[in-house]
């Protein structure tokens, strides 16, 4: 493991230590590693916006909105190749939350998320995208393929 030293002014160090405690990290090093992973993932995506990713799209919607549930289901069916799983929960008499687990090319995942969350009646949509890498090519049952795996 490589080690490096970082200098912080006292105020920034204090705020960082508060973040470490709030998030439950065991050390500053764990927190720095997570921050670096987030930044490096964003950098990979900017460098290759069509690169592979995994993502979670969550959104809240009013199920009484005219034909909204049917429109959302139709959009999901039209993009079935991106969808790994969908979870649906009822929040109250009018509102539902759905979380869609996605994998595919970053650009296609973002376009899907924008399409879904821009539907009239959808509120509070958020996409959490993680850049991924393709593992080595191999085969199962004679079919050659590569699996997605999270970046370093």
pLDDT by position in tens, the chain (length 152): 888 888 889 999 999 999 999 999 999 998 998 888 877 777 776 666 778 889 999 999 998 888 999 999 999 999 999 999 999 999 999 999 999 999 999 899 999 999 999 999 998 899 998 887 777 778 887 888 777 766 65
Distance CA 60, CA 123 (A): 5
pLDDT at 151: 60
Q: Which CATH number applies to 52-134?
A: 3.30.70.1150
Distance CA 83, CA 77 (A): 9
Neighbours of 152 (CB within 10 A): 10
Copy the structure tokens of residue 65.
């909105």
pLDDT at 47: 64
Q: Model pTM?
A: 0.69
pLDDT at 71: 95
Q: Sketch the domain layout of the chain as residue ranges.
A: 10-47, 52-134
């Amino acid at each position: 493991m490589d080690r490096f030293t970082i200098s912080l002014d006292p105020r920034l160090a204090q705020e960082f230590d508060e973040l470490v405690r709030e998030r439950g990290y065991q050390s500053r090093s764990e927190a720095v590693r997570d921050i670096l992973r987030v930044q490096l993932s964003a950098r990979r995506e900017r460098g290759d916006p069509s690169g592979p990713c995994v993502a979670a799209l969550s959104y809240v919607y009013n199920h009484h909105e005219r034909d909204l549930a049917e429109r959302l289901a139709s959009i999901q069916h039209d993009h079935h190749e991106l969808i790994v799983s969908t979870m649906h929960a009822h929040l109250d008499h009018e509102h539902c939350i759905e979380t869609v687990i996605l994998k595919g090319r970053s650009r296609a995942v973002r376009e899907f998320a924008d399409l879904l969350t821009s539907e009239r009646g959808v509120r509070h949509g958020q996409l959490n995208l993680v850049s991924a890498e393709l593992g080595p090519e191999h085969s199962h049952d004679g079919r050659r393929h590569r699996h997605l795996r999270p970046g370093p």
